[in-house]
A and B are shown apart, each in its own frame.
Chain A
Amino acid sequence: MPYIDMDAPGSNQLFIGNEAMARGALEAGIGFASAYPGTPSSEILGSLAEIAKKRDIYVEWSVNEKVAIEAGAAASFAGIRSLVAMKMNGLNVVIDFLSTIILSGIGKKGLVLMVGDDPAAHSSSNETDSRPVSKWLDIPLVEPGDFQEAKDMMPFLYDISEEFGTICIMRSVTRIAHARGNIRLGEIPKVEHKARFEQYYDTAAPMPTPIMCIPSSFRHMFQHMRIDKIREKFESSAFNKYVGPEKPDLLIITSGSGWLYSQDAVNALKAEDRIGILKLGTLWPLPEKLIKTHLSRADKVLFIEETDPFLEGAIMEFAASFSPESKRNLFYGNHTRHLNSFGELTPDAVIKAITGVLDIKYEPRDAEYMKKVEAVPQQYIMDRLLTFCPGCPHRASFWAIKNALAMDGRHGFVTGDIGCYTMALGPAGFFQTRTHQCMGAGAGLANGFGQLSRFGFDQPVVSVVGDSTFYHSIIPALVNGVHNHANFTLVILDNGATAMTGFQPHPGTELTAMGEPAAQISMENICRAIGARVEVCDPFDLKNTTRTMLDLIEQNEGARVAIMRRTCELVRQKKDKKPYKMKIDPDKCLGEDCGCNRLCTRVFRCPGLIWDPALGKTRIDEVICNECGVCADICPEGAITREAVA
């Protein structure tokens, strides 16, 4: 596989958007990068980590986003170009710091925050649009419209950041960050990084001052002045592009993923001579003169944006300030219901929006083919629910939690968190999880539920978190729970990696992002030091794990902890052979006649087990099964057997 730092300027490579951004940061000469993993942003730091030692830069997976941005800012303060990356949820975590660094300004070298948004929430608990933060907090924001721009915008943004002394944001979306496209590589400069903290950065003060956000109102005014200067700069940026006729029947204003979709849609409608597309790459501050020029050339304007109508609102607000003699445009977009302000943008959604404004007919397929499409029997394309991998320790952990809660019998429930185990909302985790919010929320909620016995609440509460989540945001909740005697059980599913986002290390793992030995932080030591009872078990030992879980639940007092420890199956299979040879004895499997109600394929539902309706028995899919052995302990008839592989 090619590395992002390949020394082949001018060559064409197929990069995902995140790799393009990481390459762009290298071409900008960064010396420091920090991040917390989150789809769709993880590959930025991941790809930098692979080459960090070779390129003599420092790269770290920080414990959470807030530490990541503060660490990155320190590098900027000391004169090192610095990149910080996170998904949109992380942006929420760092708002507090952003609200002060826009006042204090940065150091001598640039600081760029890369935020990856996830419209349609493919891998997220929400689909928040990050762009409004730029207007809210006065932060310059750019957004790449294709893969080449994802790379080329980075050096541009570092120059802006340094020239104006402010943090800058690059926002991307899943369809740029996680899509692949062509990148023409540039040069990676050889930078002699020299770090020193000089307390002089302040353009207004005659004396050396600390980097600080006070006096706040004065600095707030100063940030507004910076934004106005940056607006001037953005007016002439080559990242704002226009294609189409001089005076179009319809002007599309778009950014990000909408740029390629709009071109594809206009192309599909064969309307290149009627429709113009203004693509903004520098979104905030708005390049107002450029926008005004284009507005003056068209009557009808359609905003094509993914998720929020951000440009739509900002540009209509700007147009409202025009003098009465100015041209008035007819604006279309989310406010006229031509486009949704939720879910994912697609070429089809853009085609629909355009045909809703202009009188253009579009039939994607002929009637005869559509008849065939409509005749496809629904049962032939049944839904596929997401589930844990075959051999995933989480399936076993939730089996134990489910059985312990059932044995307790007081209608206990799980408060969920963010990771693969979020799927325990559904059949993958036997519907045990009843709340799902943001990172750390399950433990916070458990703190509240755990105080409600005085109001008659008697249900056991189990907060289930992952190992990386534990370090990220659970520790304060556990401190709170022990201190205030909240009644809940915290279960940490320790699979030794940040599995959902691609097996990044965390403070409990052996190596750092750069592959160096890490000081491993023991989660049981932390929990015990806080004062919690801690039990450690192997989820594949269903019997012991269930018993331990039941004992913890029935303690019914204070915050206590179960650590269910077993390596992620996807990590294990890279290192070891399959541990067992699994078999099902068709004579022992009683199928529908067994009293178990097909426990293995109706309830346990590992994808490695198949119900064979012709045979009336369960089979193993030898292509899918990872031979973990757990289902042998589920079958009441002992029909499923595991034989250890030597």
Chain B
Amino acid sequence: MNKLSKDPINLVVAGVGGQGNVMVSLVIGNTLVHDGYFVTIGETYGSSQRGGSVMSHLKVSAEKQYSPLIPEGQADIVLGMEPVETLRVLKSFGNQNVVTVVNPRPIHPVDFTGSGSGYPDMESLLQQLKGMSAKTYVVAATEEAQKLGNAMLANMILIGALIETGLVAISQAAIEKTIKDMFPKAIKENIAALNKGKELASVLQ
């Protein structure tokens, strides 16, 4: 177990119901617990259905068990599975030191009415995210996952990118073990996606 750069490390995973937010936090959390860390995960969710904003709070510590919710403005990392949701999280939990990893693929809300202005312009949305983060990694996870044949692999691409930032103490061996435990029928695809994410983030370093 390595000493953390900060204790606890506060990570928020932001997305939309149905994207696999819970699974992402579980992959990260399981890996860190098996490496000896204390991990607490809290999910703020709009029921169990689809379409609502979903976010998971992860607190990682070498010392103790923390509560499942991160206080206002105290995120160290935001892992954004969806750009609007990433901005929403930064607004509540961001600060001048936060590092953001974001998938720029939008999930459109269903509640635009005829007079609605539509989904925000992606370029200015990403500018907002960058302005509110110390460093921003824009990782086209869904697009790359579709090339790999399954859009759901976007989640593992994002995890790969997160690991590549070096902010969470996860080794390649540890994450591969988690993948083998959790996805025994899809080990190869998930490791390929993980490595793709690392590769994409390394270019942005």
Determine the chain B residues whose CB is within 8 A of the CB of A180 once the complex forms.
25-26, 29, 39-41, 68
A182 touches which one: B38, B53, B69, B72 (CB < 8 A)? B38
Check A427–B110 contact: CB distance below 8 A. Answer: yes
Q: Tell me the chain A residues, 578-597 only, with Cβ under 8 Å from chain B.
A: 597
Check A427–B120 contact: CB distance below 8 A. Answer: no
Contact status of A39 and B68, CB under 8 A, knowing A12-B36, A373-B94, A385-B111: no
The stretch among B43-51, B163-171, B196-204 that forms the contact with chain A is B43-51
Check B29–A423 contact: CB distance below 8 A. Answer: no
Interface string of B124-146 (1 = CB under 8 A from A): 01001001100000000010001
Grouping DSSP codes into helix (H, G, I), strand (E, B) and loop, the B interface class, with mixed when no group exceeds half, is loop
Roughly how many angstroms separate A397 CA and B58 CA in the complex, as a whole number? 39
Roughly how many angstroms separate A463 CA and B29 CA in the complex, as a whole number? 43
Check B43–A423 contact: CB distance below 8 A. Answer: no
Check A348–B181 contact: CB distance below 8 A. Answer: no
Contact status of A146 and B65, CB under 8 A, knowing A347-B71, A387-B51: yes
A179 touches which one: B40, B53, B73, B105 (CB < 8 A)? B40
**B98 closest partner in A (C-beta):** A369
Check A257–B67 contact: CB distance below 8 A. Answer: yes
Q: Tell me the chain B residues, 57-72 only, with Cβ under 8 Å from chain A.
A: 65-72
B33 at the interface (CB under 8 A from A): yes
B73 touches which one: A364, A500, A501 (CB < 8 A)? A364
A77 at the interface (CB under 8 A from B): no
Roughly how many angstroms separate A605 CA and B42 CA in the complex, as a whole number? 30
The stretch among A155-163, A221-229, A259-267 that forms the contact with chain B is A259-267
Q: Tell me the chain A residues, 480-525 only, with Cβ under 8 Å from chain B.
A: 500-502
Smallest distance from the beta carbon of A493 to chain B beta carbons, Å? Answer: 14
Interface string of A350-365 (1 = CB under 8 A from B): 0100000000000011
Smallest distance from the beta carbon of A440 to chain B beta carbons, Å? Answer: 20
Determine the chain A residues whose CB is within 8 A of the CB of B73 once the complex forms.
364-365, 369
B69 touches which one: A14, A146, A175, A368 (CB < 8 A)? A175
Interface residues on chain A, size class: 35 or more
B4 at the interface (CB under 8 A from A): no
Determine the chain A residues whose CB is within 8 A of the CB of B125 once the complex forms.
380
Check A179–B43 contact: CB distance below 8 A. Answer: yes
A645 at the interface (CB under 8 A from B): no
B34 at the interface (CB under 8 A from A): yes
B52 touches which one: A147, A263, A384, A605 (CB < 8 A)? A384
Check B43–A178 contact: CB distance below 8 A. Answer: yes
Determine the chain A residues whose CB is within 8 A of the CB of B72 once the complex forms.
348, 364-365
Determine the chain B residues whose CB is within 8 A of the CB of A365 once the complex forms.
72-73, 95-96
A122 at the interface (CB under 8 A from B): yes
Check A611–B68 contact: CB distance below 8 A. Answer: no
Determine the chain B residues whose CB is within 8 A of the CB of A260 once the complex forms.
40, 65-68
Determine the chain B residues whose CB is within 8 A of the CB of A377 once the complex forms.
120, 128
Contact status of A610 and B108, CB under 8 A, knowing A180-B40, A268-B71, A382-B84: yes
Determine the chain B residues whose CB is within 8 A of the CB of A63 once the complex forms.
none
Roughly how many angstroms separate A372 CA and B128 CA in the complex, as a whole number? 9
Smallest distance from the beta carbon of B100 to chain A beta carbons, Å? Answer: 13
Interface string of B171-191 (1 = CB under 8 A from A): 000000000011000000000
A602 at the interface (CB under 8 A from B): yes
Check A380–B50 contact: CB distance below 8 A. Answer: no
Determine the chain B residues whose CB is within 8 A of the CB of A123 once the complex forms.
47-48
Check A381–B34 contact: CB distance below 8 A. Answer: no
Interface string of A2-30 (1 = CB under 8 A from B): 10000000001110000000000000000
Check A12–B94 contact: CB distance below 8 A. Answer: no
Determine the chain A residues whose CB is within 8 A of the CB of B17 once the complex forms.
386
B114 at the interface (CB under 8 A from A): yes
A412 at the interface (CB under 8 A from B): no
B6 at the interface (CB under 8 A from A): no
Determine the chain A residues whose CB is within 8 A of the CB of B117 once the complex forms.
379
Determine the chain A residues whose CB is within 8 A of the CB of B118 once the complex forms.
611, 613
Determine the chain A residues whose CB is within 8 A of the CB of B46 once the complex forms.
122, 384, 386
Smallest distance from the beta carbon of B187 to chain A beta carbons, Å? Answer: 14
B48 touches which one: A39, A175, A261, A613 (CB < 8 A)? A39
B68 touches which one: A13, A181, A502 (CB < 8 A)? A181
A175 touches which one: B34, B42, B87, B96 (CB < 8 A)? B42
A275 at the interface (CB under 8 A from B): no
Check A623–B151 contact: CB distance below 8 A. Answer: yes
Roughly how many angstroms separate A366 CA and B110 CA in the complex, as a whole number? 35
Contact status of A147 and B69, CB under 8 A, knowing A123-B48, A179-B42, A372-B131: no
Smallest distance from the beta carbon of A613 to chain B beta carbons, Å? Answer: 4
Check B40–A181 contact: CB distance below 8 A. Answer: yes
Check B111–A384 contact: CB distance below 8 A. Answer: yes
Roughly how many angstroms separate A76 CA and B150 CA in the complex, as a whole number? 50
Check A383–B132 contact: CB distance below 8 A. Answer: no
Check B84–A381 contact: CB distance below 8 A. Answer: yes
Identify the interface centre among A379, A388, A607: most chain B CB within 10 Å of its CB.
A607
Determine the chain B residues whose CB is within 8 A of the CB of A383 once the complex forms.
109, 111
A100 at the interface (CB under 8 A from B): no
Check A389–B18 contact: CB distance below 8 A. Answer: yes
Smallest distance from the beta carbon of B97 to chain A beta carbons, Å? Answer: 10
A376 at the interface (CB under 8 A from B): yes
Roughly how many angstroms separate A638 CA and B205 CA in the complex, as a whole number? 49
Check A1–B52 contact: CB distance below 8 A. Answer: no
Determine the chain B residues whose CB is within 8 A of the CB of A39 once the complex forms.
48
Contact status of A388 and B91, CB under 8 A, knowing A257-B67, A621-B108: no
Check A606–B110 contact: CB distance below 8 A. Answer: yes
Interface string of A418-438 (1 = CB under 8 A from B): 001001000100000000000
Check B52–A385 contact: CB distance below 8 A. Answer: yes
Smallest distance from the beta carbon of A149 to chain B beta carbons, Å? Answer: 10
Roughly how many angstroms separate A369 CA and B48 CA in the complex, as a whole number? 33
Check B132–A372 contact: CB distance below 8 A. Answer: yes
**B70 closest partner in A (C-beta):** A347
Check A607–B108 contact: CB distance below 8 A. Answer: yes
Determine the chain A residues whose CB is within 8 A of the CB of B68 once the complex forms.
175, 179-181, 257, 260
Interface string of B101-118 (1 = CB under 8 A from A): 000010111111110111
Contact status of A2 and B40, CB under 8 A, knowing A260-B68, A386-B46, A387-B51: no
The 4 closest A-B pairs by CB, nearest first: A260-B67, A179-B68, A365-B73, A364-B73
A residues contacting B by CB (< 8 A) are 1-2, 12-14, 39, 122-123, 146-148, 175, 178-182, 257, 260-261, 263-265, 268, 346-348, 351, 364-366, 368-369, 372-373, 376-377, 379-390, 420, 423, 427, 500-502, 597-598, 601-602, 605-607, 610-611, 613, 621, 623-624
Known: A423-B47, A611-B112. 17 other contacts (CB 8 A): A12-B36, A13-B33, A268-B74, A351-B71, A366-B96, A369-B96, A384-B16, A385-B109, A386-B47, A386-B50, A388-B49, A598-B114, A601-B112, A602-B114, A605-B110, A621-B107, A623-B151
24 contacts between A and B (CB under 8 A): A1-B181, A14-B33, A39-B48, A147-B65, A180-B39, A180-B41, A260-B40, A260-B66, A264-B71, A364-B74, A380-B120, A381-B87, A381-B91, A385-B109, A385-B110, A386-B51, A387-B51, A389-B18, A390-B50, A420-B49, A427-B110, A500-B48, A598-B114, A623-B142
